[in-house]
Chain A
Amino acid sequence: MRHRRRAPPLGAWWAAVIALLLGWGSGAGAQTLVFTQAQAVAADTEYFPDLPQVRTLELPDDWAASRPDQTGPVWYRVTFDAEALRASGELLALYIERACSAVAIRLNGKLVHLSGRLTEPVSRNCQRPQLVSLPIAWMQPRNNQLDLKLMGYPLRQVASRQRAGGLSAIELGPHAALASKHNWRTLVSIRLPEVISGSLLLVGCLIFAMGWLNRSHSFLAYYGALLVGWALVLSRQWMADMPWPNASSEFLLAILASFVTLAAVQFLLHYGGERRRWVDIGLPAQCVVMPLTLMVAGAQHLHAMATFWYVVLAVEVGAAALLHLRKLWRVRRTQFWPMVTLAALMALAALVEFSAQQIGVDLRIVAAAQIVPPLLFMALGMRMVQQYGRQLQDAEQDRAELERRVHEASTQIERNFAQLADLKVEQVTQQERKRIAADLHDDLGAKLLTIVHTSDNERISTLAREALEEMRLSVRGLTGKPVPLLNALGDWRAEFVLRLSQAGVDGSWHAPADDDVPQLLSARAFVQTTRVLREAVSNIIKHSGASRCTVRCTIAEGDFQVVIQDNGKGIPLELDGRLDRGHGMASMKHRAKQLQGQCLVESGPGYGTVIRLTIPLDRHLASA
Chain B
Amino acid sequence: MKNILLLEDLPEIRTWLKALVMQVFPSAQIVECARVHDALAQVSAQKFDLALIDLGLPDGSGVDVVSALRESQPDAQSVIVTIHDDDDHLFPALQAGAYGYILKEQSRELITEQLQRISQGEPPLSPSIARKVIAYFAAQAKPQANALPHVQLTERESEVLLRVAKGFTLPEIGVQLGLSRHTIADYVKQIYRKLNVSSRAEAALEAQRLGLFGRGR
Measured between C-beta atoms, what is the minimum distance from B160 to chain A in Å? Answer: 14
Q: State whether the Cβ of B159 lies closer than 8 Å to any Cβ in chain A.
A: no
CB–CB B167/A494 < 8 A: yes
Please tell me if B42 contacts chain A, counting CB pairs below 8 Å. no
Across the interface, do B105 and A452 meet the contact criterion of CB distance under 8 Å? Answer: yes
Q: Is A29 an interface residue (CB 8 A)?
A: no
Which listed segment binds B: A101-109, A412-420, A464-472?
A464-472
Q: Does B86 contact A (CB under 8 A)?
A: yes
Minimum distance in angstroms from B54 CB to a CB of chain A? 10
Residues on the A chain within 8 Å of B165, using CB: 487, 490
A494 touches B126 (CB 8 A): yes
- Inter-chain contacts of B83 with A (CB < 8 A): 441, 445-446, 449, 468
B175 within 8 A of A: no
> Which B residues from 4 to 50 make CB contacts under 8 A with A?
10, 12-13, 16
Q: Quick check: B167 and A441 within 8 Å, CB to CB? A: no
Question: Known interface pairs A445-B83, A468-B105, A472-B85. Does A453 touch B13 (Cβ–Cβ under 8 Å)?
Answer: yes
Instruction: Assess whether A501 is interfacial by the CB under 8 Å rule.
Output: yes
Return chain B residues, CB-CB under 8 Å to A438. 56
Given contacts A445-B83, A476-B86, A493-B167, contact A487 B128 (CB under 8 A): yes
Check if B13 sits within 8 Å of A493, measured CB to CB. no
Q: Are B168 and A493 in contact (CB under 8 A)?
A: yes
Which among A472, A493, A494 has the highest number of chain B CB atoms within 10 Å? A494
Residues 53-111 of B at the A interface (beta carbon under 8 Å) = 56, 83-86, 104-105, 107-110
With a cutoff of 8 Å between Cβ atoms, the chain B residues found around residue A491 in the complex are 126-128, 167
A502/B110 in contact, CB under 8 A? yes
The answer, yes or no, to whether B131 is at the interface (CB within 8 Å) is: yes
Q: How many A residues have CB within 8 A of the partner chain? A: 31
Residue of A nearest to B19 (CB): A453
Minimal Cβ-Cβ distance residue in A for B125: A494
Partner pick for B167 among A442, A453, A489, A502, CB 8 A cutoff: A489
B112-149 toward A: CB 8 Å interface, digit per residue (1/0)?
Answer: 01000000000000111001000000000000000000
One of A450, A469, A479, A497 near B10 (C-beta < 8 A) = A450
In the assembled complex, which residues on chain A have CB atoms less than 8 Å from the CB atom of B12? 450, 453-454
Chain A neighbourhood of B127, CB < 8 A: 487, 490-491, 493-494
**What 0/1 pattern do residues 476 to 487 of A give for CB contact below 8 A with B?**
100100000001
Contacts of A452 in B (CB 8 A): 104-105
Contact partners of B110 in chain A: CB under 8 A = 502
Residues of chain A within 8 A of B10, CB atoms compared: 446, 449-450
Nearest residue (CB) in B for A442 is: B56
- Residues of chain B within 8 A (CB-CB) of A388 are none
Q: In angstroms, how far is the closest chain B Cβ from the Cβ of A407?
A: 38
State in angstroms the CA–CA spacing of A449 and B104 once bound together: 7
The A402-445 residues at the B interface (CB cut-off 8 A) are 438, 441-442, 445
The B-contacting residues of A in range 24-39, CB under 8 angstroms, are none
Q: How far is the CB of A447 from chain B (nearest CB, A)?
A: 9
For A448, list chain B residues within 8 Å (CB): 105
A498 at the interface (CB under 8 A from B): yes
Most buried by B among A472, A490, A497: A490
Residues in A with CB closer than 8 Å to B172 are 497
A490 partner, pick from B86, B105, B107, B166, beta carbons under 8 A: B166
In the bound complex, residues from chain A placing their C-beta under 8 Å from that of B86 are 476, 479
**A309: Cβ under 8 A from any B Cβ:** no
Report chain A residues within 8 Å CB of B108: 453
Q: How many Å from the CB of A534 to the closest CB on chain B? A: 13
Give the distance in Å from the alpha carbon of A472 to the alpha carbon of B83 in the complex: 9
Q: How far is the CB of A501 from chain B (nearest CB, A)?
A: 7
What's the nearest-Cβ distance from chain B to residue A320, in Å? 64
| Interface presence of B158 (CB below 8 A) | no
Say yes or no for B3: interface residue by CB 8 A criterion. Answer: no
Provided the pairs A441-B83, A487-B131 are in contact, do residues A497 and B16 lie with their beta carbons within 8 angstroms? Answer: no
Give chain A residues whose Cβ lies under 8 Å from the Cβ of B56.
Answer: 438, 441-442
Q: How many angstroms between the C-alpha atoms of A497 and B172 in the bound complex?
A: 10
- Give the CA-CA distance A489 to B167 in the complex, in Å: 7
A509 at the interface (CB under 8 A from B): yes
The docked-state distance in angstroms from the alpha carbon of A441 to that of B172 is 33
* Residue contact A441 to B84, C-beta cutoff 8 Å: yes
Residues on the B chain within 8 Å of A489, using CB: 166-167
List A250-282 residues whose CB lies under 8 Å from chain B.
Answer: none
**In this assembly, does A492 line the interface, its C-beta being within 8 Å of a C-beta of chain B?**
yes
For B84, the chain A residues whose CB sits under 8 A away are 441
Partner of A509, one of B105, B126, B128, B167: B167
A453 to B103, CA, bound (A): 12
B169 contacts chain A at the CB level, 8 A cutoff:
yes
A494 cross-chain contacts in B, Cβ below 8 A: 126-127, 164, 167-169
CB contacts (< 8 Å) of A501 on chain B: these are 169
Q: What distance in Å separates the Cβ of A64 from its nearest Cβ neighbour in chain B? A: 96
Tell me the minimal C-beta distance from A445 to chain B in angstroms. Answer: 5
Which residues of chain A are near B131, meaning CB under 8 Å? 487, 490
Which chain B positions have C-beta within 8 A of A465?
105, 107
- In the complex, are the beta carbons of A450 and B105 less than 8 A apart? no
Shortest Cβ gap from B155 to chain A (Å): 18
With A490-B165, A502-B110 known to touch, is A453 a contact of B126 (CB < 8 Å)? Answer: no
Contact call B105/A497, Cβ cutoff below 8 A: no
Please encode chain A, from 486 to 530, with 1 for each CB lying within 8 Å of some chain B CB and 0 for all others.
010111111011100110000001000010000000000000000
Which residues of the partner chain A approach B166 to less than 8 Å between Cβ atoms? 489-490, 493, 514
User: Are A490's CB and B167's CB within 8 A?
Assistant: yes
In the complex, chain B residues whose CB is within 8 Å of the CB of A453: 12-13, 16, 104, 108
A584 vs chain B, min Cβ distance (A): 19
Alpha-carbon gap, A449 to B128, bound state (A): 23
Contact of B13 among A449, A498, A509 (CB under 8 A): A449
CB–CB B105/A492 < 8 A: no
- Provide the bound-state CA to CA distance between A496 and B166, in Å: 12
Q: Within the complex, what minimum Cβ distance (angstroms) separates A436 from chain B?
A: 14
A293 to B167, CA, bound (A): 111
Q: Which of B85, B164, B166, B172 has the most CB of A within 10 A?
A: B166
Closest Cβ neighbor of B16 among chain A residues:
A453
- Which of B10, B107, B164, B167 gathers the greatest number of chain A CB atoms within 10 Å? B167
Instruction: Tell me, rounded to whole Å, the shortest Cβ–Cβ distance linking A455 to chain B.
Output: 10
In the complex formed, the residue of B with least CB distance to A501 is: B169
CB distance from A441 to the nearest CB of B (A): 6
Q: How far is the CA of A501 from the CA of B16 in the complex (A)?
A: 26
A490 to B162, CA, bound (A): 10
Note all chain B residues with C-beta closer than 8 A to A502: 109-110, 113
A112 CA to B52 CA, complexed, in Å = 141
Cα separation A180 to B8 with both chains bound (whole Å): 130
For B127, the closest partner residue in chain A by CB is A490
Residues from chain A with Cβ under 8 Å of B164 in the complex = 494
Closest chain B residue to A454, Cβ basis: B12
- Once the chains are docked, how many angstroms separate the CA of A502 from the CA of B112? 12
The complex places the Cα of A301 from the Cα of B78 at a distance, in Å, of 123
| CA–CA, A441 and B109, complex, Å | 23
Residues of B within 8 A of A497 (CB): 167-169, 172
14 more A-B contacts (CB under 8 A) besides A453-B13, A469-B105? Answer: A441-B84, A446-B10, A449-B83, A450-B12, A453-B12, A489-B166, A490-B131, A490-B165, A491-B126, A491-B127, A493-B166, A494-B164, A496-B167, A509-B167
Question: Can you list 11 A-B contacts with CB-CB less than 8 angstroms, sorted by A residue number?
Answer: A442-B56, A450-B12, A452-B105, A453-B108, A472-B85, A487-B131, A491-B167, A497-B168, A497-B169, A497-B172, A502-B109
- 4 smallest CB-CB distances across A and B, nearest first, come from A493-B167, A490-B127, A490-B167, A494-B167
